[in-house]
Amino acid sequence: LAKTTQPISMDSYEGQEVNITCSHNNIATNDYITWYQQFPSQGPRFIIQGYKTKVTNEVASLFIPADRKSSTLSLPRVSLSDTAVYYCLVGDLTGNQFYFGTGTSLTVIP
Amino acid sequence: EPEVTQTPSHQVTQMGQEVILRCVPISNHLYFYWYRQILGQKVEFLVSFYNNEISEKSEIFDDQFSVERPDGSNFTLKIRSTKLEDSAMYFCASSGTGGERAGELFFGEGSRLTVL
């Protein structure tokens, strides 16, 4: 299983772009990178998933360099409601197992 | 929007008692999971279930734990003899048909288990 490393916490002001980087040095060829968001006392919620290069959806972008040993979740113009824990997961898509790391606790400051 | 539902939302039990947590996954999903989260800690994988059998389980999922899909809609987690350290939020999740969407897990709101 590819282990992930993320910063424990980050602070940002409202309206700023936030980039959270995840390291996954031993990612396997078949592994995808998936990011989840979790608010207190709620289940994690899927944000975005990618394999390589760049993926963008309505809430975030995911940047993956060519070596795929890291990835960066980009949240444009964060608001107070984006305060949450963000998890990076790495795994293949056999649907068997997805292990969460320690996550990054993002605090958005007014 | 379809969602995963879990019951009960909160259960308090005495140490040594059996507990069953129930989940109704999204109807056309094929993969089912249980995770737990001890207060203030990370989300921990317990077990995944596919095609009516366990496909993967973690070290946490010992003989005290079992899962079952008794009918076409429910997915249950049983803890045979609860311990104090089983106190946690238990999340059920499901995902679709595999392939590129297999990483998109849909989580329920969780069942908080308190063992006294």
Reading chain B (116 residues) residue by residue, the pLDDT tens digits are: 779 999 999 999 999 999 999 999 998 888 899 999 999 898 999 999 988 999 889 999 999 999 999 887 899 999 999 999 999 999 999 988 655 566 788 999 999 999 99
In this complex, the residue of B48, B91, B105 whose CB is nearest that of residue A46 is B105
Decide if A52 touches B, using CB distance below 8 A.
Answer: no
Which distant-in-sequence residues (6+ apart) come within 8 Å of B42 by Cβ?
Answer: A87, A100, A101, A102, A103
In this complex, the residue of B44, B91, B98 whose CB is nearest that of residue A43 is B91
Residue type, B10: H
Binary contact (A93, B104; C-beta < 8 A): no
Interface A–B counts its CB contacts (< 8 A) at 73
